[in-house]
Chain A
Amino acid sequence: MQDTVIKIENLKKKYRLGMIGSGTLTADLQSWWAKKTGKEDPNRKIDEKEQTNKEFWALNGINLEVKAGETLGIIGANGAGKSTLLKILSRVTAPTEGEVKIKGRISSMLEVGTGFHGELTGRENIYLNGAILGMSRSEVDKKMEDIIEFSECRKFIDTPVKRYSSGMYVKLAFSVAAHLDSEILVMDEVLAVGDMKFQEKCLGKMGDVADKEGRTVLYVSHNMNTIQQLCSRCVVLDKGRIIYDGDVEEAIRIYMGTVKESPVDVDLSEMERAEEHAGRVAFMKRLQVLDAESSVFNRDSIMRFRLSFTTELDNPKLYLRAILHYADGTPVTMVTTKESFSAKKDEEQSIVFRLDSKYIVPGKYTLSLILYEVNQFGTYRNCDGVKDAFCFEIKAEEDYAHRMEWSHRYWGHVSLGELLIENE
């Protein structure tokens, strides 16, 4: 049996919501004095009722054991506690409750290039970065050649890194971290950088680190592909708890299952908007699914929607764009209305549109909607957009694709119908 190198017992981390103090000593003293004398706190916001000491458990009772040589993937939606877990493991912050026991040195690559200094040359930065990550000078000396070789930056190694391109910067930083001698390596989405070729190389290196060198790797990512390529085991976090621990494929399925299904009548007005739509030139209010009881559709069906919206524009030429994402966040395709539709100013109105699902492979998807305008010069501008406005599932018929389970990873999300044999 292999050795356990990390043992996490009932780990909890609490954050206080809102401001921690007011940030200045005088204001804190004022508040304290007001509390003492029973007066009203002068620093309280008007609409704040009581000093609500709301707490937020970023991690709520994590139990986990990691064995030597394992490559453990950690996935979960934003805010599930992945980064907090890694932060505690890499000793950046302390837990509120519970215990973490670690065997061996642990080093983290939470963000590549941490501690790089622009004025120093590549070589000097390798020493500095190595030392920050816990290597001694002689260790760095031993690995120097490998690091330079791997980084592909030999020509510029004695140039200050502030003159580097961002790609070179990242390559160099990754090389240092990848050549660490620590027994446990913690990584948070570091591979999201560099060009394709280098990313491949990094993945290869990470695989080597675990397989050949027998080191333990903890890897956090939103990229299901790299998780699948790299990890031998995977945990799914949700709201600070582990909801699944085990097989990678199953973990990804469960993670994607946490993408919820929408009701057939969606209130869009409460949904989050991007910064650029804050002006509310147009505002989508409501999305209703027509002729359907749930957000599960049969393959090859026509989905019909009614979208209610208002606009501040006078007689605009509006268009609607729908972007389709697969449940793991991969974009699938985009469709847009061909003809514009007119709208009246400051009046709630609606359009009905239809979406043909026959080109989509069965699975779970989300639909993002963007309302945009094209002016007489032909330039367009986005008026309102709601990401993941509608989540739905396409169900396959029994004999779809000869009962083969569709592998989204290898076959993609688009269906071209069938291959036709021609008889010559």
Chain B
Amino acid sequence: MEEKWTTVLKPKHKLMDLNLKELLAYKDLIFLFVKRNFVTKYKQTILGPLWLIISPILTTLMFVVVFGNIAGLSTDGSPQMAFYMAGNIVWAYFSLCVTQTSNTFVSNAAVFGKVYFPRLVAPISTVITGFVDFLIQFALFAVILAVYIFTGSPVKINAWAFATPLLVLQLALLGMGVGIIVSSLTTKYRDLTILVTFGVQLWMYASPIVYSLTQIPEQYRFLYLLNPVSPIVTIFRYGFLGSGYVPLASWGISWITTIIVVFIGVIMFTRIEKTFMDTV
């Protein structure tokens, strides 16, 4: 009699053991995790989700004072507030994706150790939670932009603004990719967690967040744009502020990098998820 098994558990696995169909079956769980993350983040806080608006305003003001006025860095003619805000919300989303997904295994060890569900549910829901934050901050950015346009400041929204969804998707993928690579490594080496906080900070200064791309000398610019985040920020700024330019070729390379990172991340993640309970 030919028997049909729904699940076969075996020790050896393929290089990439990603079951997208199963992941899709758990979409309710992803949604509930997002909701849980969002609800619990602001329980027992006075201002609640208002923090999502307050913190980018404060950071942006700090950038304006420190980098715009004290250091006197050029913003390519864009209003400082809008310029730094653009970089800030993009970076905030990216760094959140990296840092929050990088401790997936360690922070979920209790649940992962007891019950099975596709482990990728956890980082994906983290990234989506971050996306909700991003949307709220983006709305704030839109308001500031509207004020500038209304007062006739040199802000030129153009067709590249429509590339935003693609840019955000890329940010999410890249952030999650880096995050899950780190999370796979942290199951064995805890010191990487410390490195992440530090590394993300360094990475910010290696990306055109607090300064513009045009500050980089022409001959190094291509090298500089190998940082996959650089083209994303630059294009985002160009789309909404009209300052700088679109480094198209670098954006292509950036996408290739992103896809490779995600690929490596998923391979490492799916390998680790089977046995991480024995090492954590």
Contacts and interface: CB of A to CB of B under 8 A. Distances in A.
Interface of A: 4, 7, 15, 20-21, 23-26, 28, 87-108, 110-111, 114-115, 117, 119-120, 124, 127-128, 131-137, 160
B119 to A, nearest CB: 10
A24 B189 contact: yes
Given A20-B279, A132-B111, A95 B9 contact: yes
The 6 closest A-B pairs by CB, nearest first: A91-B116, A94-B274, A131-B29, A100-B9, A114-B114, A101-B5
A94 B111 contact: no
Contact of B278 (A15, A133, A135): A15
Interface in B35-87: 35-36, 39-40, 43-44
Contacts of B3: 4, 101, 103
Given A25-B192, A119-B40, A114 B115 contact: yes
Interface string B107-121: 000111111110000
B275 interface: yes
A94 B6 contact: no
Contacts of A160: 43
Given A103-B3, A131-B32, A21 B188 contact: yes
B9 A103 contact: no
B279 A119 contact: no
A384 to B, nearest CB: 36
Contact of A99 (B10, B114, B279): B10
Interface in B1-26: 3-11, 13, 25-26
Given A101-B8, A131-B29, A132-B117, A25 B40 contact: no
Interface in B188-215: 188-192
B278 A110 contact: no
Interface of B: 3-11, 13, 25-26, 28-29, 31-33, 35-36, 39-40, 43-44, 110-117, 188-192, 274-275, 277-279
A345 to B, nearest CB: 48
Contacts of A89: 9
A312 B116 CA distance: 52
A20 B276 CA distance: 12
Contacts of B4: 103
Nearest to A87: B277
Given A23-B189, A24-B189, A110-B115, 16 more contacts: A20-B278, A25-B189, A91-B116, A92-B113, A98-B11, A101-B5, A104-B6, A108-B115, A119-B44, A120-B36, A120-B39, A124-B39, A128-B32, A128-B33, A137-B28, A137-B31
Given A99-B9, A101-B7, A117-B36, A131 B26 contact: yes
A100 B8 CA distance: 6
A136 B31 CA distance: 11
A108 B5 contact: no
Contacts of A108: 114-116
A135 B29 CA distance: 9
A95 B115 contact: no
A92 B114 contact: yes
A115 B111 contact: yes
Contacts of B190: 23-24
B188 A91 contact: no
Contacts of B11: 94-98
B10 A95 contact: yes
A26 B5 CA distance: 45
Contacts of B189: 21, 23-25, 28
A119 B115 contact: no
B6 A120 contact: no
A21 B31 CA distance: 37
11 contacts: A20-B188, A23-B188, A90-B116, A96-B11, A99-B8, A101-B7, A102-B6, A103-B5, A108-B114, A120-B39, A124-B39
Contacts of A133: 115
Contacts of B6: 102-105
Contacts of A114: 110-111, 114-115
Nearest to A188: B114
Contacts of B43: 119, 160
A43 B115 CA distance: 35
B62 to A, nearest CB: 31
A106 B6 CA distance: 10
B201 to A, nearest CB: 19
Nearest to A183: B6
Nearest to A162: B43
A199 B232 CA distance: 58
B110 A131 contact: no
A26 B114 contact: no
Contacts of A87: 277
B278 to A, nearest CB: 6
Contacts of A124: 35-36, 39
B102 to A, nearest CB: 15
A92 B115 contact: yes
A120 B40 contact: yes
Contact of A94 (B9, B35, B113, B279): B9
Nearest to A121: B39
Contacts of A137: 28, 31-32
A20 to B, nearest CB: 5
A119 B45 CA distance: 12
**Which of A92, A99, A128 has the most chain B CB within a 10 Å cutoff?**
A92
Nearest to A21: B188
Nearest to A97: B11
A102 B115 contact: no
Contacts of A93: 274-275, 277-278
Contacts of B113: 92
Contacts of B117: 132, 134
A179 B114 CA distance: 18
Given A92-B116, A128-B36, A137-B28, A102 B111 contact: no
Contacts of B112: 92
A20 B274 CA distance: 16
Nearest to A160: B43
B125 to A, nearest CB: 11
A25 B114 contact: no
A132 B115 CA distance: 8
A105 B116 CA distance: 11
Contacts of B31: 137
Contacts of B110: 114
A24 B192 CA distance: 9
